[in-house]
Each structure stands twice: as structure tokens, then as C-alpha cells.
Amino acid sequence: MTSPPTARAAWFAWAALGVVYVVWGSTYLAIRFSIETMPPLLSAGSRFVVSGLLLCLAVLVFAGRGGFRMTRAQFATSALVGLLLPGWGNGLVVVAERDVASGLAALLVASIPLYVVVLRRLIGQRPPPVTLVGVAVGFVGLLVLMLGGPVAGAHGSAWYGPWLVLLAALGWACGTVAGSRLPTPPNPVTFSAVGMLVGGAVLTVAGWGTGETVDLAEVSTRSWVGWVYCVLLGALAFSAYVYALGRLPVSTVATYAYVNPVIAVLLGVWLAGERFGPAQLAGGLVVLCAVVLVVRAEHRAGKPPPVPEGCR
């Protein structure tokens, strides 16, 4: 149980949660900017490899070599989560954002807690009835979002773009459930670093295998800024997330699941000129309300909210 923080510690904890809100909410726009002139799989793969190496350096500095101690089972879990979260989940989001607005992608990704509840039910757990109601409401919202018409991404729009994001959210949910049920390294930063390195390596190989190449002379300044933002601020946000999780109630930290999409939509409209129709805004609002309902219902039931603790 999280111990009551002092006033100073509470201020730092809330500041850390604010970093998670802003950085993870703005990552979707940074991805959109990065893939304007960068190939999606190689940009995502290199981003996670560099971020993973930075986290490894942080482990060495603050925990020494002992911070990397883990059993084979713990390493296997880290690798599996890396395949499912940054590999499958984030990789498909990056590909989809060529044809899906960053704000719309964030709203669709907000469905992850809904998928997690369904997966938990499939493996025999019994979520509270209110949670199941929230899931049903959420999928109605997703249906409205999907029928609301395309919103262009970095290179245009395509009918399959939103479906790729939903498939990405399923992968992220599978990784979340796996990471919560299988043995993990004692150091959460090590856990994330291994996952980033494995997922980044898979995405890089996939990029090469599909014929992606990088012409550095053709990469725009805005794409570089987006890529560097994801590398540096992504690692910072994960550290802030771990800090906040250790000092604030889990249900409070879990609010990022429905704050991030709001920030992503606002930034997309402000900085990328993204536009949403009434149906899409209504569907997004229904999804966010459903996520709030699920997170609060799980908290009242004494269970950790079904939100991902992964690599953004």
C-alpha cells in the first residue's frame, strides 16, 4: 500500500504524474511528426533501442550491475512484454498514424483497459458487474468512433488505419495481462529497458525486412524533433510514472488512461490542424467515460485498475 506522502513528496509525486499526462499524451503527435519523413518501423525501432539503452545506463548508475539480476523466467517475461507492447502495440500505432490522426489514434488506444477486462474474463477472473457494463459502453463508443469517418494522418487516410490501432490496443492489452501474471524482474526500470530493447530490435528487423530505408538528407527538422522527443521524453515519462506509482494511490495514477487522449486530441487540433466530426467527438467521449467507469469500479473492488504499465 502506498504510504501517505509528506507535503513536499506529494508535490513531487503530482508533478511526476503531470509529466506522465503531458508527455504520454503528446507522444502521439510526436509520432505523427516523426513519420512525416521517416519510415515508420525503423523510426519506432531505433527509438526504442536508444530509449532502452538510456534506461540501461540509468540502471547502472543508480543500481549497479545488480540492477540487472533476473531469472530466465523473468527475462522471458520481459522479452514477451517487449514483443507485445513496443513491438506489436506501439509498432502498429506508428504504422497506423500514416493514415490516422494522432488524436483519433489516442482515443482508440484508450480502449486498452476495456480489452484488459475482457482478457481477464477469458482467463477465468470475474470482474465486478459495473466493470462489465463499462466495457459494453466502451465498445459502443468505439463503434461510433469507427463509423465517424476517417481523419487524415501524416500521409493521408485509409479505411484500415483505425482497425490497425484497435489491433495495436489488443496487443498492448495482452502484454499488460502477461506482465501482471508472469514473473518479472525486481527492478521495474530493468523490466522496461529489456522490453524496449527487444521490441525495438523486432521493429528494426521488420523495417529492414519490408524494405524500409532512411535517407538522412530527406528527414525534416520536425521529424527529428518528434523522434528525439519520443526517445528522451519517453524515458523520462516512464521514470516519472514509476515515481508517481510509488507515492500516489494506484487509482490516481491510473487517471492517465483517460487524460492522455484528451491531451492528444487538443494538441493534434492545435499543432497539426486535425479536425474531428461530431460523431467522432461523441464516440471518443463515450470511450473515455467507459474507461473512467472501469477504472473506478476496479478501484472500489480492491483490484488494480486495468491500465498498462508499459513502454510508451
pLDDT in tens, 250-300: 667 778 888 899 999 999 999 999 988 888 889 999 999 988 888 777 666
DSSP tag of 31: H
Grid cell for residue 301? 473492488
> What is the average pLDDT across 217-241?
90
Mean pLDDT of the chain: 87
Position 301 scores a pLDDT of 62
Position 5 scores a pLDDT of 52
Rounded distance between C-alpha atoms, residue 210 and residue 129, angstroms = 45
Whether the pLDDT of residue 237 is over 70: the answer is: yes
Task: Give just the sign of the alpha carbon dihedral 52, 54, 58, 60.
Answer: positive
Whether the pLDDT of residue 90 is over 70: the answer is: yes
Pseudo-torsion of CA 92, 94, 100, 102, nearest 10°?
130
Task: Give just the sign of the alpha carbon dihedral 299, 26, 241, 243.
Answer: negative
Per-range mean pLDDT, top range of 5-9, 68-72, 240-244: 68-72
Alpha helices for 83-220 (secondary structure H): 91-96, 102-109, 112-122, 129-147, 161-181, 188-209
Position 100 scores a pLDDT of 92
Position 137 scores a pLDDT of 92
Rounded distance between C-alpha atoms, residue 55 and residue 49, angstroms = 10
| Residue 208, φ and ψ in degrees, nearest 5 | -65, -40
Position 57 scores a pLDDT of 94
Whether the pLDDT of residue 3 is over 70: the answer is: no
Rounded distance between C-alpha atoms, residue 167 and residue 22, angstroms = 25
Position 45 scores a pLDDT of 97
Position 309 scores a pLDDT of 42
Position 1 scores a pLDDT of 47
291 to 118, 251, 254, 263, 285: CA distances (angstroms)? 13, 12, 10, 16, 10
Candidate from 18-32, 78-92, 123-137 with smallest mean pLDDT: 123-137
Position 158 scores a pLDDT of 81
Position 101 scores a pLDDT of 93
DSSP tag of 37: T
Position 223 scores a pLDDT of 97
Position 310 scores a pLDDT of 43
- Provide the terminal-to-terminal Cα distance of the chain, rounded to the nearest Å: 25
Position 303 scores a pLDDT of 58
Whether the pLDDT of residue 302 is over 70: the answer is: no
Whether the pLDDT of residue 4 is over 70: the answer is: no
> What is the average pLDDT across 161-186?
91
User: CA triplet 208, 209, 210: central angle to 5 degrees?
Assistant: 90
Q: What percent of the chain has pLDDT over 90?
A: 55
Position 286 scores a pLDDT of 93
Position 239 scores a pLDDT of 76
The number of angstroms, rounded, from the C-alpha of 197 to the middle of its chain's C-alpha atoms is 16
Per-range mean pLDDT, top range of 128-142, 149-163, 182-196, 208-222: 208-222
Whether the CB-CB separation of 193 and 56 falls below 8 Å is answered with: yes
